[in-house]
Structure 1
């Protein structure tokens, strides 16, 4: 489940990845490795979402020539596996550098992790919609989930996601932390329960569907009946 969540974050349509299908192969390999580890009693491998998002952001080339006031957009991503392999090797070699790493103050390490976590929030739709809850509608950017979804319904969807996130964190840090995978699975029927409140078009926009797939469909404001 966590691997799928990471894949959805990393392979967002806005990132314009051309080889995103390779992420599916990564999940298969990770599943096979975890099965082998389970047989021999070895620790399971887990995803590193913050590191992966920071890795993709570092390989992303943003536009430098855009209209004043427009946000920079992604031109391309240098998709390759060399840097990921080097990072993994360095992480493994860090086990041999314990004496040197002990000289680094913990405050420095926590600062690096905090910076990586905050910088990784950029581009996550949930974070962007949370910020929009604090802004008046006239200052909302013309992104697909703003154009396709009424403001109140967009805020309702965001509030539900925030409450679910708080609940998952509470379960993780409680004495029933082992039930976190089950709680993650319960988000599937919860998502299905929201279908009566939103149209399929609105849910696709809120789920991060590619804007090009939604441009051919009628806009919310075009569908709304005019008075009189």
Structure 2
């Protein structure tokens, strides 16, 4: 039996559960608040703090130089991801991506207050956990810090949580505007449009057609024109959002 498995088996039940839930986090690091979201706990849950301390003590997780948490090494991450592959983990995973959506929505409203921000929809009944974002500077820092996790996580949300996926793509409009990463932006909006259609969300479809068309303008003008015409035809008011 590997040292990782022995350390995991020796944990109390709650710590084992949190470790499994952390395995579905898509990024290279995670925060205490994300651990709270995964576990379904409130932002001030002392049980999560105690569990993280125990996981640190047995060297399953570590602190990064920037003060975030990460798995201790690749072997630990692989074991956590293997445990997180069970279908029972999906409620925790949904809570994590709802945390991302709530936090992205908060950041977007600080960074682009003039945009027509849509009302967001959540399914989880767990306490709402939102990143601590209070200024445009902290909002942008949060987006940049979480960019790698969001990029990788989109592969999962597009397939499993389509209604969350298109909303996340929409809330990251400020990132597409500022960074001009056309490949990721195109891929995200392509899957975002598919996700909105899969949900049957007409407002989401129009929003994705519009923003996808704007992103595509710098890469494929013909596609951009087609998308914006579809957006106008699909909008109840005859105009794209």
What TM-score comes out, normalization by structure 2 length? 0.24
Which of structures 1 and 2 has the bigger CA Rg? 1
Kindly indicate whether structure 1 or structure 2 has the higher relative contact order, using CA contacts under 8 Å at least 6 residues apart.
Answer: 1
What TM-score comes out, normalization by structure 1 length? 0.25
